[in-house]
Structure 1
Amino acid sequence: MQEQVKNDYYERIEKAVNFMEDNLMKKLTIEMISEKASFSKFHFIRVFTAMTGETAGSYLRRRRISRSSKQLINTNHSILNIAFDYQFESQEAYTRSFKKVYNTSPGKYRKLNNNQRAFGRARLTVERLSHLKSNVTMKPKIIEIEKRNFIGMNVLTSLANNKIPQLWRDFMPRKKEIENNINTGCYEIHPFDTGFKMENFTEDMKFEKWAAVEVNEIKNIPKELNSLTIEGGKYAVFEHKGTMSNIQMSFDYAYGTWLSNSEYEIDRRASFERYGEQYFGPEHPESITELWIPIK
């Protein structure tokens, strides 16, 4: 019975989402949307937020921004007209919302080449709703840490030439050589690049990744391994449950939904994933991967 109710809620929320998606350029009210889901306004607000981690208004605004970004690229329409087309009351309101999603202004976004433009914010589907319910913590833990020391291997990689799987194949046989491992698991670390600019990003751009373990102090570093110290600070910590094949949906939620609706913003420090005692391998459906996102 409970499973039937859950599936019914998924289907009703999907109807509401489809209605919003079909009418992104029209004026919509919460009453109109909740009616499509066959919920009362009050119940719809509670159910939608519980199932997606954001309000219907926030979802609608992000999807309008995502869809409007295509008009910025593919048409010569003015930013003001695009703002009005997607139901923003002014160019200023549109620009504020656009920056919240893409971290740049509509004008600057329009000038980027195709490889430099950020991907659009994903449409909600039953698959994504199910993922949010079962495969990722929707409210992260906020944890403040002191600086941490690591020993491991690092590599320069890119989206076009992914060297991360080989990095782990090289590192894992060497892990036992690290004498002062404090056994908090394995870490995949992405140090913050002070020279990085989103407008310059392409699939061929190289960035640094580490496969490492945490150590109590940096000493006796095995040959061909290196050390890394990351700054302390505040992190939002999400748990992804399941295989690595769908971890991108957890990242999409953490960065694309939770962060943009939170009081926080990304801090200029290292991000990392932790594979602890509840991580049973990349294909195990019960594996837990922690996603640590630096915030301020």
Structure 2
Amino acid sequence: MISEIKTISAKKFIGLNLNMSFIDNKTAELWRSFMPRRKDITNTISNDMYSLQVYDENFFSQFNPATEFKKWALVEVTDFNTVPEGMETFDLEGGMYAVFYYKGNPFNAAQVFGYIMKEWLPQSGYVLDNRPHFEVLGEKYKNGSDESEEEIWIPIR
């Protein structure tokens, strides 16, 4: 898996969120509720979608698969002037990220994130930062396909 370090500026998003855990994973439910409404967001920057996770500060150091976190289904927008009813805004602060370019079935996420957190990160010289993690689901993302491509963004310092 190819990776690189990138620093990004702040971004604005609109979308939906759910609280969930790895044991009680509601990702499919979240995206089923978001996808029919994403075209209601009129001030998008691109067709890319973002799957974004907000974890508590000790989430990974005291990992428990039953611990809840907030997961968002989002699109990037130019501003918050028009927010569809029932949707929420999210401001992502800028910062440094390790970006992993993953090609393969999205259902293999546990192995991919295991490699990033247990192998790549400890050997990288970086430490995990307490900011949101996200995946960019662009034109080459195909849910359930071995040919799917996505970017995995891990906050580091």
Q: Same-fold call, TM > 0.5?
A: yes
| Contact 2:54 2:131 (8 Å CA) reproduced | yes
| Contact 1:160 1:204 (8 Å CA) reproduced | yes
In the TM superposition, what are the counterparts of 1:83-232 in structure 2 within 5 Å?
Answer: 136-137=1-2, 140-194=3-57, 196=59, 198-199=61-62, 201-232=63-94
| Contact 2:59 2:67 (8 Å CA) reproduced | no
- What secondary structure sits across from 1:181 in the alignment? coil
1:244 aligns to what? 106
- Percent of aligned positions with the same letter in both sequences? 39
> Cα RMSD (Å) of the superposition?
1.7
1:291 aligns with 2:157: no
Deviation at 1:247, TM superposition (A): 2.6
Deviation at 1:164, TM superposition (A): 1.2
| Contact 1:240 1:247 (8 Å CA) reproduced | no
Shift in CA distance, 184/268, structure 1 to aligned 2, threshold 3 Å: farther
Partner Cα distance (1:193, 1:215) in 2: 25
Q: Which is richer in helix? A: 1
TM-score after normalising by structure 2: 0.92
Q: Which amino acid aligns with 1:180?
A: N
| Contact 2:7 2:96 (8 Å CA) reproduced | yes
Q: Which amino acid aligns with 1:171?
A: F
Choose between structure 1 and 2 for higher RCO, CA contacts under 8 A separated by at least 6 residues. 2
Shift in CA distance, 146/225, structure 1 to aligned 2, threshold 3 Å: same
- What secondary structure sits across from 1:149 in the alignment? strand
TM-score after normalising by structure 1: 0.50
| Contact 1:156 1:207 (8 Å CA) reproduced | yes
Q: Which amino acid aligns with 1:289?
A: E
Q: State the number of aligned residues.
A: 157
Q: Greater CA radius of gyration, 1 or 2? A: 1
Q: Which is richer in strand? A: 2
Deviation at 1:218, TM superposition (A): 1.4
- Give the alignment partner of residue 123 of structure 2, picking from 261, 268, 273: 261
